[in-house]
């Protein structure tokens, strides 16, 4: 089985398996705490690898933060791209990211896991910078300072 960082991500966000279960239920995904525990310990993997994508989405993290094994990460991405029949509405940024992804993918050896990983990571960074830019535009530049339980 594959090692992952699900438990660490949950701990960092101060969430339990029950909290994750409730978040997944908002996406109409039924799962129990013991399954999530087995996934987090690497004792079992979901039959449908899209589950990892759903978990990353509800936790609002990149899949790479949870799945650190490059080969398993690539197998998830390949399965998703092969089985993806549903097309979601995309923002202009997502469309740009897709075209960037496709352009970069056309420039690398698709049989090389390290080359594919570089493309995925670069596109992930671009997405993170876009999200950061949106947050700065919305809230302005600020610095949060923790003081006990308060942020000022």
Per-residue model confidence as pLDDT tens digits over 76-100: 887 777 665 444 444 455 655 678 8
From 86, 111, 126, the end of a domain falls on 86
Give residue 141's domain range: 92-152
Residue-level pLDDT at 125: 86
pLDDT of 43 above 60: yes
Same domain, 111 and 82: no
CA distance 57 to 81: 17
2 and 25 part of one domain: yes
Instruction: State residue 83 phi and psi, 5-degree precision.
Output: -95, 0
Whether the predicted model's global pTM rises above the 0.85 cut: no
Q: Let me know whether 32 and 62 are in one domain.
A: yes
Query: How much is the average pLDDT of 134-143?
Result: 77
Residues 30 and 61 in one domain: yes
Looking at the 3D structure of the chain, how many domains does it have? 2
Q: What's the longest Cα–Cα distance across the chain?
A: 50
Kindly tell me the burial class for residue 130, based on how many C-beta atoms sit within 10 Å of its own C-beta (0-12, 13-18, 19 or more).
Answer: middle
Terminal CA-CA length for the chain: 43
Q: Can you give the pLDDT at residue 72? A: 84
C-alpha 12, offset from chain centre: 15
Residue 131 parent element (H or E)? helix 113-139
């Amino acid at each position: 089985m594959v090692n992952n960082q699900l438990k660490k991500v949950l701990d960092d966000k101060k969430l339990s398996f029950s909290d994750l279960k409730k978040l997944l239920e908002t996406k109409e995904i039924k799962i129990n705490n013991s399954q999530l525990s087995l996934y987090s310990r690497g004792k079992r993997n979901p039959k449908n690898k899209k589950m990892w994508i759903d978990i990353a989405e509800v936790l609002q993290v990149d899949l790479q933060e949870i799945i650190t094994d490059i080969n398993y990460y690539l197998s998830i991405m390949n399965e998703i791209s092969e089985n993806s029949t549903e097309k979601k509405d995309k923002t202009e940024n997502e469309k740009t990211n897709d075209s960037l992804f496709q352009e970069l993918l056309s420039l690398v050896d698709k049989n090389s896991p390290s080359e594919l990983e570089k493309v995925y990571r670069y596109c992930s960074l671009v997405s993170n910078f876009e999200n950061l830019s949106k947050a700065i535009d919305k809230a302005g530049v600020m610095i949060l300072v923790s003081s006990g339980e308060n942020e000022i």
